[in-house]
Amino acid sequence: MIVVSRQHPISKRYVPADPGRNGLEKPAAKALARMVAAAKADGITVVVRSGYRSYAEQDAILKSKIVEYGDEKLARRYNAEPGKSEHQTGLAVDLWDGETWGTGFRRTAAGKWLWRHSRDFGFILRYPPGKEAITGYAYEPWHFRYIGTAHSLEFKANHTKTLEEYLGID
């Protein structure tokens, strides 16, 4: 189980072993396609906003966010430094409905659907509410991490536990 966080950086040279759509590792890409199709069958639109991001892309994003926010501390709270973004693993994806971005996404039909069903497809909400001290990141209702159903279904209740707590690591 790969863990990438502020505490656990990844090599600058790390790239997904077998990338599929959106640069995601193929099992994650396939699970995502199944999840998006299942949402669609329920009348819910789920759109990929960001999949795999390279070290260089993450570096550029953080720099531009610091300028955009005009607040470096706030920008760093929401945006990882290069080498500390889970997106570099090809196992993390930002999802939205194509309309509502930000924490308000949780209250959209797509946000609610994903909250309820993502675990069934092997995805967990990586930065759940009230867990910033553990994950190092503020609540992000859009950021999902693929860990496979063998693990995700062990997360009994929806998004009350973090990956750190599940694995027993810092």
Q: How far apart are CA 36 and CA 118, in angstroms?
A: 10
The yes or no reply on residue 143 touching Zn ion (CB under 5 A) is yes
The yes or no reply on residue 84 touching Zn ion (CB under 5 A) is no
Stretch that binds Zn ion, among 13-21, 91-99, 104-112, 117-125 (CB under 5 A): 91-99
Tell me whether residue 52 or residue 155 sits nearer to Zn ion (CB atom).
Answer: 52
Q: Which of 140, 154, 164, 165 is catalytic?
A: 140
The answer to whether residue 140 is catalytic is yes
Beta carbon of residue 23, minimum distance to Zn ion (angstroms, whole number): 13
Tell me whether residue 57 or residue 94 sits nearer to Zn ion (CB atom).
Answer: 94
Query: Do the Cβ atoms of 93 and 144 come closer than 8 Å?
Result: yes
Q: How far apart are CA 169 and CA 3, in angstroms?
A: 10
Beta strands in the chain (DSSP E): 47-50, 92-96, 123-125, 143-146
For Zn ion, how many residues bind (rule: CB under 5 A)?
A: 2
Beta carbon of residue 50, minimum distance to Zn ion (angstroms, whole number): 6
Residue nearest to Zn ion as judged by C-beta position: 143
Percent of the chain as helix, strand, coil, to the nearest 5? 45, 10, 45
Q: How far apart are CA 47 and CA 36, in angstroms?
A: 8
Token representation of residue 148: 């496979």
DSSP summary character for residue 121:
G
The yes or no reply on residue 94 touching Zn ion (CB under 5 A) is yes
Q: How far apart are CA 154 and CA 48, in angstroms?
A: 25
Q: Is 81 helix (H, G, I), strand (E, B) or coil?
A: coil
Stretch that binds Zn ion, among 26-34, 92-100, 150-158, 160-168 (CB under 5 A): 92-100
Q: Find the binding residues for Zn ion in span 103-122 (CB under 5 A).
A: none
Stretch that binds Zn ion, among 19-27, 64-72, 128-136, 140-148 (CB under 5 A): 140-148
Q: Which residues are catalytic?
A: 140
> Which parts of this chain interact with Zn ion (CB under 5 A)?
94, 143
